[in-house]
Amino acid sequence: MNQSQGHGEGGVRFSYEMLEFRPEWQFDDQETGAYYHSAVVPGKLFFTSLGGDVQYEVVQKTVPFIERVFADGVLKNCDYIRIADYSGVTKAGINARILYASTINRLNAANNCRSVVTYICGASQQLKTMLRIFSRIVKQRFVFVDSVEEAFRYLNSDSSVQAPAQSDGVVVTRKEIDDFAAMCGHFLFGRKDFACSASNYLAPDHPLNELYKIIVVFHDDLQELQKKEKEQKRKIEIALEDARKLNEKLVEEKHNVEEKEQIQQTLIENLKKARLEAESANKAKSEFLANISHEIRTPLHAIIGMTELLIETKLDKDQRYYTDTLYSSSKMLLMLINDILDFSRIDAGRIDEEREAFDLRQLLQDIITVMKEKASCKGLVLAGDIDDAIPGRLSGYPGYMKQVLLNLIQNAIKFTYRGQVTVTASVVSETPEEVELRISVEDTGIGIPAEHLHQIFQPFTQIDASSTRKEGGTGLGLAIVQKLVAIMGSEIHVESSEKEGSTFSFILSFEKVDDSDETADDEAVSIQFGQGNAGESENETEKQQVLLVEDNAINQKVARAMLEKMGYDIDIAFNGAEAVEALRQKHYGLVLMDLQMPVMDGYEATRTIRSSDKVLDRNIPIIAMTANATKEDRQQCIEAGMDDYVPKPVERKVMINMLQRWLPLNNDR
């Protein structure tokens, strides 16, 4: 061997004592008794000692220990000498050998190092044969020695010392070769008589003993490889079978899932259908209620209107008592009908209001001012505590807000006999765009027993029959309040204790409205409607002539009675077309125009009047009479060219105000 090739340089001498054995590099397999011990002279020498029955599984367990040696960096970037002590190896199959060798190769490559020479100590003839075969593949130089001591000796000796002499040639006869070939045949094809025919080669002094050993190695390796291949084939078959079964299961599962999904889908659809049916049934009910209420309202108004007229005639004491009762009862009935109408409209999902800009503080003040009188009639104080920090203009539903607060304040006054009712509005939180407010109505009244608290928002529920009988009410107020607050995007809460009082509250978010773009539609409407032009359309006829355009006989009667009582002259047209005709023939001071009529409706009639050159006065004031005074209705009235509107059914007081504005009586001026 050539010492100048990378080891022993600089006269360094190595000894067993120089080896560093770290405990974490040593492995002893308890199960098989196999072992792997390693040590290094860092950067110079790598010592390994393998022993026992080295099966593939043993090498698998060994790998982490080999890895640890390299991981500790003791062999990084170097050419090292390797001493591999195999004297304890009793058996090592080809797969075990491959794994062991490939692990060391892999770690060498990863750590940029390699063994320039490997001293193999105490390897059996078989192992030597294996390693020789192997050395061709890994291009390593192996030096076979008997023991570790011998390895050190060679290592430290100078370059002239040669490796142990290899045996010289042997003489083999032709017969021996023939016999040997026959043995190989038996051997390789697994014949049973191989054992006896092979027995003579086992003798170490037989000239073909070594060759025999090599054949045995090949044979063993081949068998191991075949066994492994078979095993792997079996494994693949099992895996394939498993996959097939799994696939079958998957198909089945998929089928199940699909079935389940279908059932689920059907359930969902049924549910949807049921919900839709329920909703539409509820809607139909509400629509029905709304229609009924609407229909009742018209004759009821006739009763109230006529009663009002009757009250103003000369009556004796009994008659007055009867008419008063009639009046208050019909008013009560109207209140109930109005509530039902409201409730069923909201319940049917009809939202008449649109979001608009309004001044909440002003709205609250106005409501408090209106309700103060009612409170003081009962000896109560109605106080307002309105946060100055509430922005001037907010976007919301002023109509709903008003309805909610009126309801709550009315209830508070109704169910309080001593003390005060307080309306509070305070800022909860605020961002540049939004403000969150808490609005509450608190009273010091009779309170609501805890067990009834959950009922009060149910329609037609009244807790204390005696007090509500005393105070009146429909049992719908809070149901309406709850729905309106929900439409506005919040939830109404109540806290109450018996005999102490109740607090109804809700928290609402409002968008702030820039004060500069303050031309809210609402104002536009009121400006247009508000400019009475009584002066312009001054009428010099002795009695002011009013043309009433109305198809409903009861409404005609009520309006006629009211207007005549006020001193106006009345003509009646049954629809828009008749009205246009009447205005061609006769001078009138004012038109009261119903909207929904057969033949020609109020809008079209107005447009015709405004654009016709055949009517005597195309600028005549036209007042709409509308059942649903929604913003849209009002807008439509304006667009058609009307001047103002009165809500239907028409109330006497409202009618008087309206006519005084648009067609004042001569004797009034």
Could you list the residues that contact ligand ADP (CB under 6 A)? Answer: 411-412, 415, 443, 445-448, 456, 461-464, 468, 473-479, 502
The amino acid sitting at 169 is G
Scanning the structure block, which residue is given the tokens 């209140």?
335
DSSP 8-state class, residue 167: P
DSSP 8-state class, residue 520: -
Under 8 Å between Cβ of 500 and 433? no
> What is the C-alpha separation between 25 and 570, in angstroms, rounded?
119
If the CB atoms of residues 304 and 456 are measured against ligand ADP, the closer one turns out to be: 456
Tokens of 476: 């719908």
If the CB atoms of residues 217 and 441 are measured against ligand ADP, the closer one turns out to be: 441
CB of 447 to ligand ADP, least distance (A): 6
Q: How many CB atoms lie within 10 A of CB 662?
A: 23
CA distances from 164 to 8, 135, 144, 268 (A): 19, 18, 8, 90
If the CB atoms of residues 118 and 424 are measured against ligand ADP, the closer one turns out to be: 424
Residues in the chain: 669
- Pairing type for strands 493-497 and 501-512 reads antiparallel
If the CB atoms of residues 66 and 380 are measured against ligand ADP, the closer one turns out to be: 380
If the CB atoms of residues 226 and 458 are measured against ligand ADP, the closer one turns out to be: 458
CB of 287 to ligand ADP, least distance (A): 22
Q: Is 329 in a helix, a strand, or coil?
A: helix
- φ/ψ (deg, to 5) at 615: -75, 155
> What is the C-alpha separation between 16 and 40, in angstroms, rounded?
10
If the CB atoms of residues 57 and 464 are measured against ligand ADP, the closer one turns out to be: 464
CB of 404 to ligand ADP, least distance (A): 11
The amino acid sitting at 399 is G
CB of 490 to ligand ADP, least distance (A): 18
CB of 456 to ligand ADP, least distance (A): 4
CB of 374 to ligand ADP, least distance (A): 14
Under 8 Å between Cβ of 187 and 219? yes
If the CB atoms of residues 415 and 510 are measured against ligand ADP, the closer one turns out to be: 415
If the CB atoms of residues 443 and 578 are measured against ligand ADP, the closer one turns out to be: 443
Please give the span between the terminal C-alpha atoms of the chain, in angstroms, as a whole number: 142
- DSSP H or E stretch at residue 50: strand 45-54
Under 8 Å between Cβ of 623 and 601? no
SS3 of the chain: helix, strand, coil, percent, to 5 = 55, 20, 30
If the CB atoms of residues 309 and 453 are measured against ligand ADP, the closer one turns out to be: 453
CA distances from 655 to 307, 397, 559, 646, 650 (A): 16, 27, 9, 7, 7
CB of 623 to ligand ADP, least distance (A): 33
CB of 474 to ligand ADP, least distance (A): 5
Residue 608 makes CB contacts below 8 A (sequence gap 6+) with 576, 580, 600
CB of 466 to ligand ADP, least distance (A): 10
CB of 622 to ligand ADP, least distance (A): 38
If the CB atoms of residues 308 and 443 are measured against ligand ADP, the closer one turns out to be: 443
